[in-house]
Structure 1
Amino acid sequence: MKHKLTLYIVIALILGVIVGYANHLLWPEPKVAENIANHISLITEIFLRLVKMIIGPLVFTSLVAGVAHMGDMKTIGRVGGKAMLWFITASLVSLFIGMVMVNLLAPGKDLNMPLPPVDAASGIHAGSFSLDEFIKHAVPSSAVGALANNEVLQIVIFSIFFGVAAASVGHKARVLVALIEEASHVILKITGYVMSLAPLAVFAAIASIVTEHGPGILLTYGKYMASFYLSLAILWCVMFGAGFLFLGKTAVRVVSLLRAPFIVAFTTASSEAAYPSMMRQLERVPVSEKIVSFVLPLGYSFNLDGSMMYCTFAVLFIAQAYGIELSWSQQIVMLLALMVTSKGMGAVPRGSLVVVAATLEMFKLPSAGLLLILGVDQFLDMGRSATNVIGNGLATTVVAKWEGENVDVGKDDADEELAIAS
């Protein structure tokens, strides 16, 4: 069934390109094409809304059950510490690769754009990404509000408190924990129903993009996009190399199992859309439910490797386009600033643009430069969202390995060995 879903998604992607291109030829008028694209994208919007409907309950129930089974703060602190060590290292590597590659390839050098007026605006709000605001935002003022707004980091913090409290109460909370665990299985079943609609959402997402913009936009920004995807490919190699170093051949299995979540994230340009599928696939590695339910939500707030790399890439591309030189020392300061301001970045389409806007403002670069990349951002968001899936999948498996779990033998292989033994 999993292989069929992946096949259906790929077929939907190809059909989406064909239908979108046909629409673009039939209705070349920009306003008409935009109107048609908006109608087609309703299908994708419905799918993403259904995914968001289950994200909050899924994170809460699975994380509470996982934390309660861990038993104590010492174990939680140990697992969380290992996860954060990986996340911070991966973030620095991602940012550094983006910085080096945009300097080497210099995709914005030939644009020679005139500086925009000082009061020119990009339409992207940039005022909320400071360390102070992030810390305030991380701690929920309402558990219900965090669930209602799908604030993953806030849900994680509340769930950890809830799970630790349930574990400390002991047998008195046994029935409650069991009920929450059963609820997580029901939500996973709902997830299966929602994910069966993924091919339709993929078809609509691709068809609407190509209908509105056509293939021509890819040529206009060809160097910028090619440079970014080459940089992503290098990041993929680095991530897989790190995974192989710690996991051996299991890294190949992890990447193979993440095909469907990868394609869902790529085609919908949303890491969030792939979250439910990732949980199920990582458990097939096998990674224990308690590790997946604890590490994966943390990764969605602290380990968005593709989005992190894009932040340095986009900011420096805009500086190049306007002929603004930034020294290596300035770029390193920018890299360290992005380490802070990007944490808690929403795993939703175009979430990283807010961080880019804040960074442009912080370093006195033209905020209107965002207008240079808005047209093709959807295509780039597809790549960075898919990269987030690979990064979090490998990170979760590595943490499980560090915790002594046997991730070297897949469930299918284990079943075969059991059958032979019996």
Structure 2
Amino acid sequence: MTAQSTAPAKKPLHHHLYVQVLVAILLGALFGWLAPQTAAQEWVKALGDGFIKLIKMVIAPIIFCTVVSGVAHIEDARKVGRVGVKALIYFEIVSTFALVIGLLVGNILKAGAGFAGKPDPSAITKYTELAAKRSGVDFVLDIIPDSAIGAFARGEILQVLLFSLLFGFALLTLGERGRGMRTFVDDAGHAMFGVIAIVMKAAPVGAFGAMAYTVGKYGSAALLSLAGLIGSFYLTAALFIAVVLGLIAATVGFNIFRLLAYLKDEILIVLGTSSSESALPPLMEKLERLGCSKPVVGLVVPTGYSFNLDGTNIYMTLTTLFIARAMGVELDFAHQATILVVAMLTSKGASGVSGAGFVTLAATLAAVDPQLAPGMSLVLGIDKFMAECRALTNFIGNGVATIVVSAWEGELDRDKLQEGLKRRIDPSNVETAVSTE
């Protein structure tokens, strides 16, 4: 038996990152509830924002190094296009399931029926204006950076991905002349993951600050007033993960709940910070350790963060039905079919935009029925609580997508997959995660 397959020595419970983050989330919620005025101050918010900025600081370099290294080491350039096409096909199929399950649950539970709130159009003007300005052409042009350095400076994932693919292909054509640069990129990638290992130690502080500020600012009143919608959304997301993603995982040959346990550190970080980007680098690293090939991880994960937004899709359909019923507007089959088509497009067009979930909802409502747009104000107060579930579902969906595409490509090491999911290796030890050539 190799050293890798030996069960890792057990660490004290308080040394595990997921325990630290879970305790931080609970303490943050308690602090926000008991001392809302203090918790709602900017310095508390800065704890969460600071951690997310630290993570975003290295996302672009990690994507660049991973993608360039993956592309530059392959022998068949056509493989990159093949992986991309398979990933996009998978994204569209699963996104459709997410939209449909949101509509089904919304209709079964009669989301929004009997709600007594009144919309405030002035509260959501900035979102509707931003949604109206963004077209499909704008989205395509936004993928092309004004400059490579600008893409890295702004942290635009799709722009960095495009430049990384072009750079990787350039290295591929250099052959032996590009060996030195490939080695440098590989070493830089290892160093970047080392930076992540250091930054992740601050995850409990970030989770505490983000949760405390959320509870302190928005309070339990906003949460309780729309508890039905929040509960329906979390229930729908749980059903989607357990049933849809669970069946997909079973087809490929792994258990979805074992994957959730494997990624529990990152799941709690996403839950605490309401940002799936906060766990993007460790997700890429852990998927490689789980047996997914580097080229597939480098292509599927960054692309999925813009095109595979399962949680956002569920949110759009369910919330659209809620707003329509709350405003007394009955959406027939034709309108609901329109929601599916429009939401599939708008979920891509708003990716990377500040407040993307709300911008996407604004574009969807305006396209389905313009009179529904003011109803966004009904859910404005609880959007932060729903953002956590959106981010969590998006994160898990991209993890499953990467494993599936790796299996399709025949580049999934199933022995490493089973070892990782059965806890025969320590997935939380990021410092030892750097693979050797």
The answer to whether the superposition gives a TM-score over 0.5 is yes
Per mean C-alpha deviation after superposition, the further-off stretch among 287-296 and 262-271 is: 287-296
Distance 1:313 1:392 in 2: 21
Q: Partner of 1:68 in structure 2?
A: 72
RMSD of the TM alignment (CA)? Answer: 2.4
Extract unaligned runs of 5+ from structure 2: 1-10, 426-437
Q: Partner of 1:89 in structure 2?
A: 93
Question: Shift in Å at residue 301 of structure 1?
Answer: 1.3
Classify 1:21/1:213 alpha carbon distance in 2 versus 1 (closer, same or farther; 3 Å).
same
Tell me the amino acid that sits aligned with residue 238 of structure 2.
A
| Equivalences, count | 408
**Other structure's SS at 1:342 match:** helix
Indicate conservation of the 8 Å contact 2:312/2:357, yes or no: yes
Q: Partner of 1:187 in structure 2?
A: 192
Displaced runs of 4 or more, over 4 A: 112-117, 414-417
Distance 1:349 1:5 in 2: 29
Normalised to the residue count of structure 2, the TM-score between the two structures is 0.87
1:16 aligns with 2:28: yes
Q: Partner of 1:386 in structure 2?
A: 392
Q: Partner of 2:57 in structure 1?
A: 53
Tell me the amino acid that sits aligned with residue 109 of structure 2.
L
1:158 aligns with 2:199: no
Sequence identity (%) = 35
Cα shift readout 1:99-152 (whole Å, capped 9, x = no counterpart):
2211221221111455667x7753323224322221111222322221111111
Tell me the amino acid that sits aligned with residue 249 of structure 2.
F
Distance 1:107 1:159 in 2: 44
Indicate conservation of the 8 Å contact 2:114/2:326, yes or no: yes
Indicate conservation of the 8 Å contact 2:275/2:388, yes or no: yes
Indicate conservation of the 8 Å contact 2:119/2:378, yes or no: no
Per mean C-alpha deviation after superposition, the further-off stretch among 408-417 and 53-62 is: 408-417
Cα shift readout 1:169-225 (whole Å, capped 9, x = no counterpart):
211111112111111111111111111111111111111112223223222111111
**Other structure's SS at 1:365 match:** helix
Indicate conservation of the 8 Å contact 1:13/1:203, yes or no: yes
Normalised to the residue count of structure 1, the TM-score between the two structures is 0.90
Distance 2:124 2:233 in 1: 25
Indicate conservation of the 8 Å contact 2:95/2:344, yes or no: yes
Q: Partner of 2:238 in structure 1?
A: 233
Distance 1:140 1:277 in 2: 26
1:131 aligns with 2:136: yes
Distance 1:406 1:88 in 2: 22
Aligned mate of 1:175, from 180, 184, 203: 180
Extract unaligned runs of 5+ from structure 1: 418-422
Cα shift readout 1:329-372 (whole Å, capped 9, x = no counterpart):
12212211221121154368732111111122223134332221
Indicate conservation of the 8 Å contact 1:112/1:323, yes or no: no
Indicate conservation of the 8 Å contact 2:242/2:256, yes or no: no
Classify 1:329/1:366 alpha carbon distance in 2 versus 1 (closer, same or farther; 3 Å).
closer
Question: Shift in Å at residue 402 of structure 1?
Answer: 1.4
Question: Shift in Å at residue 57 of structure 1?
Answer: 1.0
Classify 1:406/1:360 alpha carbon distance in 2 versus 1 (closer, same or farther; 3 Å).
closer
Distance 2:52 2:380 in 1: 21
Distance 2:219 2:124 in 1: 26
Q: Partner of 1:334 in structure 2?
A: 339
Classify 1:253/1:223 alpha carbon distance in 2 versus 1 (closer, same or farther; 3 Å).
closer
Tell me the amino acid that sits aligned with residue 86 of structure 1.
Y
Q: Partner of 2:5 in structure 1?
A: none
